[in-house]
C-alpha cells in the first residue's frame, strides 16, 4: 500500500511475510531481500506470466528491453505492464501510481449494482 504523509511524502507500507495463501516467490531464499514488487511479480508468474516486454520507453522513444513482471495503475485509470526496475522508479516518483492486483473484482461489483 502506498500513502502520502501530511507533508506529501510517499510512504510505502507492506507486510514482511507473505500471506499463507500466496505461492512462494520463484527467487524466495534467505539471502533475497523482501520486496513487495518481487511478491507481485511472483503472483503474476505463478499465473503463467504475461510474455511480453515492459511498456515503458526511454526519453528517445526506445522500448525498455526488460520483461514485464508487474502491472501498475494510477488514479487516472492508466495501466501498464512494466519491469521491476521501472516499477520501482514509477512507484517512488509518481504519487498516484500503485501495483494493480487482478485478484477479486475491484470496484466492478459496486459499479454493476442496479
Residue 51 gets the label, from left (phi > 0), alpha (psi -120 to 50) or beta, of left
Provide, rounded to whole angstroms, the least separation between the CB of residue 78 and Zn ion: 16
- For Zn ion, the closer of residues 43 and 86 by Cβ is 86
- For Zn ion, the closer of residues 83 and 99 by Cβ is 83
In the structure grid, which three cell numbers stand for residue 70, read together? Answer: 508487474
Q: Where on the chain is the footprint of Zn ion (CB under 5 A)?
A: 54, 56, 64, 66, 83, 86
Report the C-alpha gap between 63 and 56 in whole angstroms. Answer: 6
- For Zn ion, the closer of residues 59 and 113 by Cβ is 59
**What's the angle, vertex CA 16, arms to CA 42 and CA 35, rounded to 5?**
40
In the structure grid, which three cell numbers stand for residue 51, read together? Answer: 510474455
Provide, rounded to whole angstroms, the least separation between the CB of residue 60 and Zn ion: 14
Provide, rounded to whole angstroms, the least separation between the CB of residue 86 and Zn ion: 4
Amino acid at each position: 500500500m502506498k500513502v502520502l504523509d501530511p507533508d506529501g511524502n510517499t510512504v510505502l507500507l507492506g507486510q514482511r511475510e507473505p500471506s499463507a495463501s500466496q505461492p512462494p516467490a520463484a527467487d524466495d531464499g534467505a539471502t533475497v531481500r523482501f520486496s513487495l514488487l518481487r511478491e507481485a511479480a511472483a503472483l503474476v508468474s505463478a499465473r503463467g506470466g504475461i510474455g511480453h516486454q515492459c511498456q515503458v520507453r526511454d526519453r528517445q522513444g526506445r522500448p525498455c528491453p526488460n520483461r514485464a513482471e508487474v502491472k501498475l495503475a494510477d488514479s487516472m485509470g492508466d495501466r501498464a505492464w512494466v519491469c521491476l526496475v521501472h516499477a520501482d522508479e514509477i512507484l517512488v516518483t509518481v504519487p498516484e501510481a500503485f501495483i494493480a492486483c487482478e485478484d477479486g473484482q475491484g470496484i466492478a461489483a459496486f459499479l454493476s449494482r442496479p
